[in-house]
A and B are shown apart, each in its own frame.
Chain A
Amino acid sequence: MKGVIFTEFTEMVEHRFGLESLDSIITSSDLPSKGAYTAVGTYDHHEMVKLVVALSKHESIPLPQLLEEFGTYLFQRFTVLYPHFFKVDSGLLHFLEGVENYIHVEVFKLYPDAELPRFSCSRPSENRLIMLYQSDKSMADLAIGLIKGAGAFFNENCTIVSTAKNDSGSVVEIEIIVMNE
């Protein structure tokens, strides 16, 4: 997992829960990196799992919720860090459709070793999009959070329905329905 995720996470934890919480979860988790993350680095994604689990325990927030909130936060940070990907006039669903084929493609060009989830989309109607999430990290909640963040960015109200397609959570069907105002 790219270091940027880790740095954003630690920033978020520091700002939202305080330095102490951050320090606590770092020290309580057995991290090979010792919690020293740089945005340009690459680290084992299990460290993220440990941190998130530790945080969930520490703050008594259910894990899925935590991941979702992080996802929303992360999206907002993406729009700041990589502004060229986010053009307002594209529309939420159009944007989401382009995640796999456009954004992720560009990511791979720069970071060939990036471990990104795969999305396959189908657009049953103008305002409905079904994204099939596939990743062995089983972090669909993060994805949902990101999607929510996207909804906020594009200023479009949407409803998200997710259906796990298997027990491990590595395949999840996410349906986004845009509400017309």
Chain B
Amino acid sequence: MSNLELIQRQLERERLARKEAERILEEKSLELFRSNMELTKLNASLESQIQQRTDELRFEQSQLNLLIDLHPMPLLLVKRSDFSIIDVNAHACFTFKQTKESFIGLPYLDWAKAIDGEHPSTNSVDGEREINVGDQHLFFQAHSTSLNFRNEDIYLIILDDLADRKVILNQYIEKEKAYRELVENVSDIIYRADKYGFFTYINPTAAHFTGYNETELLNAHFTSLVREDFRAKLISYYQFQLKEEIQTTYIEFPVITKDGDEKWVGQSADLHRIDDENMEFIVLCRDITDRKKVERALIRSEEKYRSIIENLELGLLEVDPAGIIVKAYPKFCVLTGYTPEELVGRNPMTFLVDEQSKQLIETESKKRKKGQASVYEVELIRKDGSKVWVIISGAPFYNERNEVAGTVGIHLDISDRKKMEEELLLAKEIAENSLRSKDQFVANISHEIRTPLNAIIGMNHLLNDTGLTEKQHNYAEAIETSSQNLLTIVNDLLDFSKIESGKMELEIISENLHSVICKTVQLWNLKIEEKGLYFEQNIHPDINRFYNFDPTRLSGILSNLLHNALKFTAHGKISIDIELLERNTNSDRIRFAIKDTGIGIPKDKLSAIFESFVQAENNTTRNFGGTGLGLSIAKDLVALMNSQLTVSSEVDQGSCFEFILELAHAEERVAETTSNFDLSQFKDKRVLLVEDNEINRFMAQTILENWKLEVTCAENGAIAVEKLTHQPFDVVLMDMQMPVLDGLQATWVIRNKLKCDTPIIALTANAVKGELEKCFEAGMNDFLSKPYTQKALQAALIRVLKLQPLPIQHSIAEQLPIASDWIDLSLLIQNTNNNAQFMRKMIHLMISETEKRLEEIPGLLQLKDQESIRKIAHAMKPSIDHVAHANVRDLVRKVEAGNEVFEVFSEQTNDLMLSLKKVVQLLKENPIVTDN
């Protein structure tokens, strides 16, 4: 590297450096320029601000000057150093009638002379000052303030014109006068007392009231007027007020006037603090003597009522709305064994009643809150733990705002009554039990009676079939009638007790209503006629179809009603009307009515007759017979059929008993015809007869042996089991009630221990619902209801032995149309007991009789001998009843009654003759009849 190169490089570097320096210089110059501009601007703005401030200051200054000038009181500016006046305001010029310039330099202290006041001080600028204006002496109050104003230390002095003050003072004086007059003339006592209680001021009313004058009162102690016994109390009362510095108090006390009269006052005392040490009372006092009198009277009255309530025999308890005891009267305490202190403040629910009663108390509480009063019974728990039943009459009472303020409860001890209630309840239970056992007893007795009774009837039948002489037959008939009657009575009794204990159930089967009614009616036909009464039947033909109903019971009802009608009707007619009221799709509404022209029932006895054991008259049984149960049972049975048995009646005119049934249509049921059964099917079948009653056993055995069955007897269930173990049988007839082992038990043993499935037929006296189920459950196959008819026994055996009833060998009766338009043999069949030979004989007899009579009639008609024709009709009636259709039977009755005028009567008679001829002809034509 040569020197030259070095230097060249150096030069280059320096050149660059210089360029850089120049650039930087440029930059800096620009910056400087800019800064300059800024500063200039700032300067200008500052100057304008200064100007603004200066203007503002000047303005303020001028305002201030204005303020001073316009002040309504004279204002002076006085130099502090020499007390010379340097400036005044406009008002000062005006007031003192001088120019501003004349003031300047005036010596203030001389010009405004100080009046010798409380604080004389030569250099004082304040206080009352006298300033002379011409001749006038004006008085001012000077108020000064030290200031620095316009760079000088000055006093700013305001001169307050004292004349103004005088005006204000006068105003105050006026006001004071007005108030004083008020106080002096008011009708209440107003006074002031110092803190010791001495009067410092009294108004005229005070003097007037007490009778003392002002002199006497002022500086007397207020207690000197008070009745002696109140003095100490009042002193301590007001001492307390003073001590606690209570602003206002009120107290009432008696005062004795100068004349010795006692008056009462109500005193309001205000405590006023005068200064640090002193307080005084300002008191308003009012005469309350009258009010006190009223109060006393009120208290006396309240005392009186209170003592009445306190001494009532009833226990009184007062509770507040929350249920807490507020007051317990003496008798209540005695009742519950608590003292009042033990009761007040507590909630009765927590200790006076047990858990169960709490709910009741709650409910009652709620009622009270709603303003409801009520009476209820509850058991209270005494202090000693014993309980007492009370009846509580609770009612709310109200405060002056008409809100519920609590409840008063009057408690009366009803433990005696409760005891009696309990005893009654017990007695009722015993009675009911006794009734139940009585019912049971009646059922048992009935059963006990029926068993031998059925034996009598059964035996009698057997006897009858043994071919008796006519005399013997008559005796048998009599026995039959009597025992049937007795049976009816016993059955009634049993039915009654069943109904009473609610165990009666209808046995609904499908049956032809018409036949049932006819069968029933037939029973009474004869009897009614025998009594000489006319029996009318109006049975709607359309009821001749099958319905679902209980024929036995319906028949029973009708029988009972007919029986009664018969009993109580001496002459006239009895009618039975069966009317179809409504035919619906599935059922018919049918009216059943039985009317009579009997003695009737007095209106007041109408409901009584339905009662059990009651009859219309006390001598009815004697005169008419009967237990009096019948109607009651009939009524109950009708009720069971969802209907009502009603009666309308007039004394000596007659009665009408009726009821309406809704019967459901039913399918025709083929009647069991056991009347024709080939008895040879029974031959040699082995029967085990289990029956403890000797008679019943004998009867059953006889019947069975008559049918050629092989009978083995067992006296009780145990023997039956024994026998079954050793020999086989085809069927068992098992009585239910037996000693040692009864029917159910025996059956159980036979089925479960012997594993024997020989069919068992139950012979039950109580065919009630529960009973039958038990039988079937035990394993029995069928049942017979005691007393059972031969037919029923036969049918049961056939069923159980699965034998064939033969194709029906038509009886005579069935070969003849039983119910055609002319013929009706149902009564004949019944009365001949379906004895073919007997029937034939009867029919022959009837035919010849009827023919004979018919011959007589035409002649009598010509003679218009209505009476004789009637007699003939009457004579023919029995025959006609046995063979002819209802229509014909009606006809003969009409003729027999003979009520119509002859023209009508004649027509009836002719109709009858024609009908009878037809009947006879039909009968004759039938070969069965004419045969033999």
A97-119 vs B, Cβ < 8 Å mask (1 yes, 0 no): 00000000000000000000000
Are A38 and B18 within 8 A (Cβ)?
Answer: yes
Identify which of B9, B14, B17, B28 contacts A23 (C-beta below 8 A).
B9
Q: Who on chain B is nearest to A41 by CB?
A: B20
A37 to B14, CA, bound (A): 8
- A34 CB to nearest B CB, Å: 7
Residues 1-59 (chain B) with a chain A CB within 8 angstroms: 1, 3, 6-7, 9-10, 12-18, 20-21, 24-25, 28
Q: Who on chain B is nearest to A40 by CB?
A: B24
A: number of interface residues (CB 8 Å): 15
Are B6 and A36 within 8 A (Cβ)?
Answer: no
Are B1 and A20 within 8 A (Cβ)?
Answer: yes
Identify which of A20, A37, A40 contacts B6 (C-beta below 8 A).
A20
B9 surroundings in chain A (CB, below 8 A): 23, 27
Are A38 and B24 within 8 A (Cβ)?
Answer: yes
Given contacts A19-B7, A23-B1, contact A35 B25 (CB under 8 A): no
Q: Who on chain A is nearest to B18 by CB?
A: A38
Identify which of A23, A27, A34, A40 contacts B21 (C-beta below 8 A).
A40
A18-55 vs B, Cβ < 8 Å mask (1 yes, 0 no): 01101100110000001111111100000000000000
B15 surroundings in chain A (CB, below 8 A): 36
A36 to B7, CA, bound (A): 14
Residues 600-614 (chain B) with a chain A CB within 8 angstroms: none
A37 to B1, CA, bound (A): 22
Given contacts A23-B1, A40-B21, contact A34 B16 (CB under 8 A): yes
A20 surroundings in chain B (CB, below 8 A): 1, 6
A34 surroundings in chain B (CB, below 8 A): 13, 16
Are A38 and B21 within 8 A (Cβ)?
Answer: yes
Identify which of B1, B13, B21 contacts A35 (C-beta below 8 A).
B13
A34 to B17, CA, bound (A): 10
B399-410 vs A, Cβ < 8 Å mask (1 yes, 0 no): 000000000000
A39 surroundings in chain B (CB, below 8 A): 21
Given contacts A38-B21, A39-B21, A41-B21, contact A19 B16 (CB under 8 A): no
Identify which of A19, A23, A40 contacts B25 (C-beta below 8 A).
A40
Given contacts A19-B6, A20-B1, contact A38 B13 (CB under 8 A): no
Are B1 and A36 within 8 A (Cβ)?
Answer: no
Q: Who on chain A is nearest to B14 by CB?
A: A36
A59 to B17, CA, bound (A): 26
A22 surroundings in chain B (CB, below 8 A): 10
B21 surroundings in chain A (CB, below 8 A): 38-41
A35 surroundings in chain B (CB, below 8 A): 13
B25 surroundings in chain A (CB, below 8 A): 40
Residues 722-769 (chain B) with a chain A CB within 8 angstroms: none
A19 surroundings in chain B (CB, below 8 A): 3, 6-7, 10
B: number of interface residues (CB 8 Å): 18
A121 to B785, CA, bound (A): 142
A15 to B12, CA, bound (A): 18
A41 to B28, CA, bound (A): 11
Given contacts A34-B16, A35-B13, A38-B18, contact A23 B24 (CB under 8 A): no
Are B10 and A36 within 8 A (Cβ)?
Answer: no
A40 surroundings in chain B (CB, below 8 A): 20-21, 24-25, 28
B17 surroundings in chain A (CB, below 8 A): 7, 36-38, 41
Q: Who on chain A is nearest to B10 by CB?
A: A19
- A101 CB to nearest B CB, Å: 26
Given contacts A19-B6, A19-B7, A23-B6, contact A36 B13 (CB under 8 A): yes
B7 surroundings in chain A (CB, below 8 A): 19
A27 surroundings in chain B (CB, below 8 A): 9
- B318 CB to nearest A CB, Å: 94
- B706 CB to nearest A CB, Å: 150
Q: Who on chain B is nearest to A27 by CB?
A: B9
Q: Who on chain B is nearest to A37 by CB?
A: B17
Q: Who on chain A is nearest to B22 by CB?
A: A38
**Of A7, A19, A27, most B-chain CB atoms within 10 Å:** A19
- A68 CB to nearest B CB, Å: 26
A7 surroundings in chain B (CB, below 8 A): 17
B1 surroundings in chain A (CB, below 8 A): 20, 23
- A58 CB to nearest B CB, Å: 14
B191-206 vs A, Cβ < 8 Å mask (1 yes, 0 no): 0000000000000000
B16 surroundings in chain A (CB, below 8 A): 34, 36
A36 surroundings in chain B (CB, below 8 A): 12-17, 20
Q: Who on chain A is nearest to B15 by CB?
A: A36
Identify which of A23, A26, A38 contacts B20 (C-beta below 8 A).
A38
Are B24 and A41 within 8 A (Cβ)?
Answer: yes
Q: Who on chain B is nearest to A36 by CB?
A: B16
A64-103 vs B, Cβ < 8 Å mask (1 yes, 0 no): 0000000000000000000000000000000000000000
A92 to B3, CA, bound (A): 43
B12 surroundings in chain A (CB, below 8 A): 36
A37 to B28, CA, bound (A): 17
A37 to B18, CA, bound (A): 8
- B648 CB to nearest A CB, Å: 138
Q: Who on chain B is nearest to A35 by CB?
A: B13
- B144 CB to nearest A CB, Å: 55
A36 to B20, CA, bound (A): 8
A19 to B7, CA, bound (A): 8
A72 to B22, CA, bound (A): 30
A37 to B16, CA, bound (A): 8
Q: Who on chain B is nearest to A20 by CB?
A: B6
Q: Who on chain A is nearest to B7 by CB?
A: A19
B176-215 vs A, Cβ < 8 Å mask (1 yes, 0 no): 0000000000000000000000000000000000000000
B137-164 vs A, Cβ < 8 Å mask (1 yes, 0 no): 0000000000000000000000000000
Q: Who on chain A is nearest to B21 by CB?
A: A38
Q: Who on chain A is nearest to B16 by CB?
A: A36
- A35 CB to nearest B CB, Å: 5
A142 to B9, CA, bound (A): 28
B28 surroundings in chain A (CB, below 8 A): 40
- B557 CB to nearest A CB, Å: 135
A36 to B10, CA, bound (A): 9
A37 surroundings in chain B (CB, below 8 A): 13, 17, 20
- B8 CB to nearest A CB, Å: 10
- B31 CB to nearest A CB, Å: 11
B18 surroundings in chain A (CB, below 8 A): 38
Q: Who on chain A is nearest to B24 by CB?
A: A40
A34 to B10, CA, bound (A): 11
A40 to B1, CA, bound (A): 31
A38 surroundings in chain B (CB, below 8 A): 17-18, 20-21, 24
A40 to B27, CA, bound (A): 11
Q: List 26 A-B residue pairs with CB atoms under 8 Å apart, sorted by A's residue number.
A: A7-B17, A19-B3, A19-B6, A19-B7, A19-B10, A20-B6, A22-B10, A23-B10, A26-B13, A27-B9, A34-B16, A35-B13, A36-B12, A36-B13, A36-B16, A36-B17, A37-B17, A37-B20, A38-B17, A38-B18, A38-B24, A40-B24, A40-B25, A41-B17, A41-B20, A41-B21
Binding site for B on A (CB under 8 A): 7, 19-20, 22-23, 26-27, 34-41
| 4 nearest A-B residue pairs (beta carbon) | A36-B16, A38-B21, A38-B17, A36-B17
Binding site for A on B (CB under 8 A): 1, 3, 6-7, 9-10, 12-18, 20-21, 24-25, 28
Known: A19-B10, A26-B13, A41-B20. 11 other contacts (CB 8 A): A23-B6, A23-B10, A36-B12, A36-B16, A37-B13, A37-B20, A38-B21, A38-B24, A40-B25, A40-B28, A41-B17
